[in-house]
Structure 1
Amino acid sequence: MKLLTLNFLTCARKACKTSAASFPLHPREAELEQVELDMNPQFIRNVLPRVEWEAMRSISQELGLPSLPDTAPGPEELADAEGGPTQILKDLHTLLMETTIASGKLLCANCGHEYAIKEGIANFLLPSHLV
């Protein structure tokens, strides 16, 4: 599961739908893996405005990854004078696209439910008593 994916997930329980504490889901006992991908600067530029920056900063800190700046970088910070990628763009590509959670759990801060992650896939199926 890519870290970027965590920025678009919330708890699946109906009781959590209205609670702000159900986002983001917090990784626990996470085993991280780096999967090398070709750099796609245009994708990063397009997805960055959709990323909830505070949630991404929180997830990054919880996983012990390098801290992100206080505010999301603007388009001018993603390309150097020659139009090449800046270090911040390379770091964002590594964090959002290449860093994956191979196994572990995702915890909802509202209800405490844990979603298992195995082989990079999170199981969001709820037991019948939680639906």
Structure 2
Amino acid sequence: MRVTRFLKMRLMTHNMLTSHVKGVTNGYPLILEATETNEKEIDFNPEFIAKMIPRIEWSALVNAMEKLGKADLIPEEVADEYENDEDFLHKAHHALLEIDVIKGNLVCPQSGRKFPISNGIPNMLLNEDEV
């Protein structure tokens, strides 16, 4: 097993990150600027995806997919009775877990502060003056 497999930033991770720069009151969702991505098929677990859907800010996920040029791969809204909609769950699974952001930036929507993504790892550390 390769440890790096788990270090890649996925859109599920992006959906849960926010900017904590001092003075920022609206640091979510971070704007995704990906310069390198990778797609890798992983095992589909419909129960896991169904449990994650209520925790996902769907509009932020759709926006991230748009930034990646993949808006056509995901519905604009959560499907009614999504728990039983296998097509919807497959699309959500692909967007949340099979797209890795290897390089780029996450940008605070309020301050414009860029958090670099390198080798699939977002660097969310703040400078002293930002704490």
TM-score in same-fold range (> 0.5): yes
| In 1: Cα distance, 2:76 partner to 2:101 partner | 24
Q: Who is 1:83 aligned against?
A: none
Q: How does 1:99-118 map to 2 (within 5 A)?
A: 99-118=99-118
How far did 1:78 drift? Answer: 4.6
For residue 96 of structure 2, what is the aligned residue in structure 1?
96
Query: Which one of 47, 51, 58 corresponds to residue 46 of structure 1?
Result: 51
- Residue 42 of structure 2 aligns to a residue whose secondary structure is coil
Match of 2:76 among 70, 74, 85: 70
Q: Which residue of 2 aligns with 1:79?
A: 84
Secondary structure of residue in 1 paired with 2:16: coil
Secondary structure of the residue that 1:7 maps to in structure 2?
Answer: helix
Give the alignment of 1:17-28 within 5 angstroms: 18-19=25-26, 22-28=27-33
Q: 1:12 aligns with which of 20, 45, 70?
A: 20
Extract unaligned runs of 5+ from structure 2: 1-8
Question: Matched residues in 1 for 2:33 and 2:39: separation?
Answer: 18
| DSSP 3-state at the match of 1:14 | coil
Q: Which amino acid aligns with 1:71?
A: E
Contact 2:12/2:96 (8 A) holds in 1: yes
Whole-angstrom distance in 2 between the partners of 1:78 and 1:99: 22
| Structure 1 residue aligned with 2:124 | 124
Structure number with greater Rg is: 1
* Overall identity of the aligned pairs, in %: 34
Distance 2:34 2:43 in 1: 28
CA distance in 2, matches of 1:55, 1:101: 15
